[in-house]
Amino acid sequence: MAFRFAVTAAVMAALITPAAAQNLPPMPAPVEPFASAVELIDPKTLRVCSDPASLPFSNDKLEGFENRIAELLAEKLGKGISYTWFPMATGFVRKTLGEHRCDVIIGYAQGDELVQNTNAYYRTAYAMVVKPGSGLEDVETLSDPRLKDKRIGLVAGTPPGTNVALNGLMGRVKPYQLMVDTRYTHVPQMMMEDLSKGDIDVAILWGPIAGYFAKIQDPPLKVIPLVKEASGPRMVYRITMGVRASDQNWKRDLNKLIRENQPEINKILADFGVPLLNEKDEAISVTQ
C-alpha cells in the first residue's frame, strides 16, 4: 500500500509504482550482487536508492521524510548525497542496491531477505483514519460493533483486508487499487478526500501514509494505529535501512548513526505525521 511502505513490498505497505526507471547512472565494473566480501561504498557521497514518486517517503523533488533522513545522514558523515531513482516495485533491489548503483535504501521492512537490515529506526503499524466528531475516535479494533454499518475504505491486497473480512465488514468496503502509477494517481489522497466528504466513514492505510495525509487535511483527521487486533496478520512492523549482504562495516556505521541521532530521526518522522510506536505498542511522544 502506498507504501512503499516506505514502506516495502515485503509488508505490502505502500502503493507500488510500476513507472519506468528514471535516469539510472552508468553501471560500474561488473560485480556479482552480494557475492563479494569487498565493500564498495562511495567514500565521498551517500548514494541513496529511492523511489521518485512515493510521498510521504521520497520523491525526486526531495520532499519526503526519507529524503530528510538521508540529508541528515549525509551531513553527519560529511558526505555529499546522490540518488538512484527506481520505482519501488519488482526488481527494485536488484536494479539499485544489487547492481551497486547506490549504497543504502533508507526505508525497508525488517526481515526481508533481499537486503541486509540495519537496526530498526522506527516501528509503526497499519492504521484507521476517522473524522473528528464522527463518534469513532475511540474505536481501537476492527471488531468494534460500531463499524458494522460503516463504509470502509481499504487498499485491496493489504494485510488489514484479512481482519476486515474476519469481522464481517467486507460488504461495506469501498476498495482502492494497490497497483497504480503514483505519478498520476494518488490513492491515499483520494481516500482522505472521500473520508472528508463522507463517502467513506473509515480509511485503513499503512501508518506513515495514514499519518501524513491525515495531518495535511483541513481539519486534520484522527489516526488510530491497529495495535490491538486479536487475530489475523500482524499490523506492526519495524522499519530499517537496507544494505548489501557483504557490507558489514557499512551496516555498523549506519547502526551507529541511527543510535546517535534517533531523537532527530524521530522528530523528522513526527513532522510528517508518522505514528511511532515503542516495543509495547504504545505511542511515542515527540516534542515538536
State how far Cα 250 lies from the chain centre: 22
Condensed to tens digits (0 to 9), the pLDDT of residues 157-216 reads 899 999 999 999 999 999 997 655 555 557 888 899 899 999 999 999 999 999 999 999
Q: How far is the C-alpha of 155 from the C-alpha of 204, rounded, in Å?
A: 7
Alpha carbon distances (Å) from 281 to 62, 80, 125, 185, 266: 30, 36, 9, 32, 16
Q: Residue 13: pLDDT above 90?
A: no
Same domain (yes/no): 104, 186: no
Same domain (yes/no): 118, 130: no
Q: Residue 26: pLDDT above 50?
A: no
Evaluate whether residue 230 is within a structural domain. Answer: no
Condensed to tens digits (0 to 9), the pLDDT of residues 58-78 reads 999 999 999 999 999 999 999
Q: Is-contact 162 234, C-beta < 8 A? A: no
Q: Is-contact 95 25, C-beta < 8 A? A: no
pLDDT at 37: 54
Evaluate whether residue 280 is within a structural domain. Answer: no
**What is the residue whose three cell numbers read 553501471?**
27
Contact residues for 69 (Cβ-Cβ < 8 A; gap 6+): 106, 121, 265, 268
Condensed to tens digits (0 to 9), the pLDDT of residues 71-118 reads 999 999 999 999 999 988 889 999 999 999 999 999 999 987 889 999
Same domain (yes/no): 82, 162: no
Domain residue limits at 167 = 126-225
Here the CATH number for the domain that contains residue 209 is: 3.40.190.10
> Which pLDDT band, with edges at 50, 70 and 90, does 154 fall under?
very high
**Domains: count for the chain:** 2
Beta bridge mates, 176: 155
Same domain (yes/no): 53, 85: yes
Condensed to tens digits (0 to 9), the pLDDT of residues 222-244 reads 999 999 999 999 999 999 999 99
pLDDT at 23: 33
* Helices 248-260 & 65-77 angle (0-180, nearest 10): 100
Same domain (yes/no): 258, 219: no
Q: Which of 144, 115, 138, 85 is nearest to 239 (CA)?
A: 115
Condensed to tens digits (0 to 9), the pLDDT of residues 132-153 reads 999 999 999 999 999 999 999 9
Same domain (yes/no): 166, 195: yes
Condensed to tens digits (0 to 9), the pLDDT of residues 256-276 reads 999 999 999 999 999 999 999
Q: How far is the C-alpha of 65 from the C-alpha of 288, rounded, in Å?
A: 15
pLDDT at 183: 59
Q: Which residues of 43-79 are buried (b: 16+ CB within 10 A; e: fewer)?
A: eeebbbbbbbbbbbbbbbeeebbbbbbbebbbeebee
Q: Residue 5: pLDDT above 50?
A: no
Q: Model's pTM, two decimal places? A: 0.85
Q: Residue 30: pLDDT above 80?
A: no
Q: How far is the C-alpha of 172 from the C-alpha of 105, rounded, in Å?
A: 37
Evaluate whether residue 2 is within a structural domain. Answer: no
Same domain (yes/no): 75, 49: yes
